[in-house]
Amino acid sequence: MLKIVKFPDTVLRTQVTEWDFQNPPTNPVQLEKDMLETMFAHHGIGLAAPQVGLPYRVFTMGYSGSPESAQAFFNPIVVKTVDDIDDWEEGCLSFPGVYVNIKRPKKILARWQNAKGEWQESEFDGYNCKCFLHELDHLEGIVFQDRVSPLKWAMAVKKANKRK
């Protein structure tokens, strides 16, 4: 199992470069397996490579209740978004116990490569859309703290500290 990196580790602020299927830094199928195992063991629904200390443009996403639908997204991109916005609560394995509402598009059209390097495309909405965008942010060196005001963040951290 891989180790989850906690904020403020600098790897979480690093923008990663495209995954090279012609010259992969590691076996992509094994990486997908390891990241999914780690994500499920920590009760997450998404996990980006920087969150386990790896500078790769890949994240995993899925639910432990249906692990067969969970997968890795290599070189993900958003092709299209809608103007409608959702304002739902998000958490992050790199920020244990902190939850804050983040505004994100309700729906996106995305493209990515699977672990075999095959391009895929799909629409995501609801919480899957939120999760996809949250994990994509990690690949750009953006953490969810960056998506809210300092006051809103301070309130979320204070609430998390009270729960400890």
Q: What is the 3-state secondary structure (H, E, C) of 51-120?
A: HHCCCECEEEECCCCCHHHCEEEEEEEEEEECCCEEEEEECCCCCCCCCEEEEEECEEEEEEECCCCCEE
Mean pLDDT to the nearest integer, 87-116: 97
Q: Are 105 and 131 in contact (CB under 8 A)?
A: no
Q: What is the mean pLDDT of residues 121-128?
A: 95
Cα 2 off chain centre by: 15
Reference 42, options 64, 59, 57; nearest CA is 64
Q: Contact at 8 Å (CB) between 5 and 53? A: yes
Please indicate whether residue 89 is annotated as part of the active site: no
Sign of CA dihedral 158, 44, 54, 60: negative
What is the reported pTM?
0.96
28-71 pLDDT, tens per residue?
A: 999 999 999 999 999 999 999 999 999 999 999 998 778 788 99
Question: Of 90, 123, 135, 140, which residue is the catalytic one?
Answer: 135
The CA distance from 131 to 76, in Å, is 13
Handedness of CA 36, 41, 47, 52 (dihedral sign): negative
pLDDT of residue 96 exceeding 90, the answer is yes
Q: CA-CA distance, 77 to 124, in Å (whole number)?
A: 12
Instruction: Write out pLDDT tens, residues 131-151.
Output: 999 999 999 999 999 999 999
